[in-house]
Structure 1
């Protein structure tokens, strides 16, 4: 599968993976700043952004996609940074292909199974009459019924793409994401731990990384460090970009 990506800068390679419902554009601002010292690759994972729509859709497949991407771009080893779903992809990849990972950064996700928490988002997105939509403001008003948080709506609306014949379509493959949602919630499994340096970054207002998750983290990533960004929720890169940038830069430099 040929994944859509953007490349910035010069230096050691750093690959950044977005989260569920996201696109590479979510990380473009931070990616460009990191590109002052690294060759940054922002990737749309399958069924997201401008990358192909296909099944299966689970972490072993997403890790295999990343492996193919690295090989096709002659990247034999790279730093990995992943947020949420992208963090799980990065963990899966590091555990399966440890020799291809320099340092691993996981933003606000643990390698554990999560309960469903996106039902309102799925309902809101499926309720949109995409062919009849006149503009994004109309879509925003429709989403607001089920999603009161403006920041979440703005994030989701980045998936809308206008069609030549009128109306809109989603960049992401919503039916396949919904069908395989249980796979995205699933835990990360491995036969052996990843022995490389690993940084977990937790949003202080988020409950995606909890104290009870740390035994599993330690078992799979024994050389891990956990940092908390107190004033951030799950979207740490949006809530506290400068703090995140400092944590990432300091970790990669050492």
Structure 2
């Protein structure tokens, strides 16, 4: 059987160090679900794939361990880490707080250009039949709204939290039908309208509620999935 690592896309931009490139490729594969929870990440196989020694591979895996995407198991080495529903709910709770803060800061100063870009991403999100793109379009919509907060560290923390749960979000979105999308789109539209009014309180409150609701839906999906014999 072909190893999932055989499908890793090696970044074309070689300005990154070897460990950076490996971490980026593995991170993307985990987030996109190509490397499932519990998948063993064999250092020799990764090193051969990237034509490097094991040193940058170990560095990359340690970085992903710090991000919560990889864990080291006795007698197995590095494996793709999983999250429990309780952990996901806590991450989403933290996200709700941070994103509400970013929304409140950005709403009063958002540019017309970023409003137009967010509006375009929202339209694309609603029109795209490709559920595989919904996760990234969702991030593009929200991150565009937050851009004018001018808080790069805050936005980097939000992105890191996205990466921790994104594989689960994508699994949920893949099960979502077009008829179930209007609720999400209504919430997105209401958030966008608050930004267009430059209303920081409404933008923050709506964003927080939206993220918390997404977290509850995600945990419900995971619990149902496990109840029916699935695994994450």
Answer 1 or 2: which has greater strand percent.
1
- Work out which of the two has the higher radius of gyration on C-alpha atoms and give 1 or 2: 2
- Check whether TM > 0.5: no
Indicate the structure whose relative CO is greater, using CA pairs within 8 Å and at least 6 residues apart. Answer: 2
Question: TM-score, with normalisation over the residues of structure 1?
Answer: 0.28
Decide which structure has greater helix share. 2
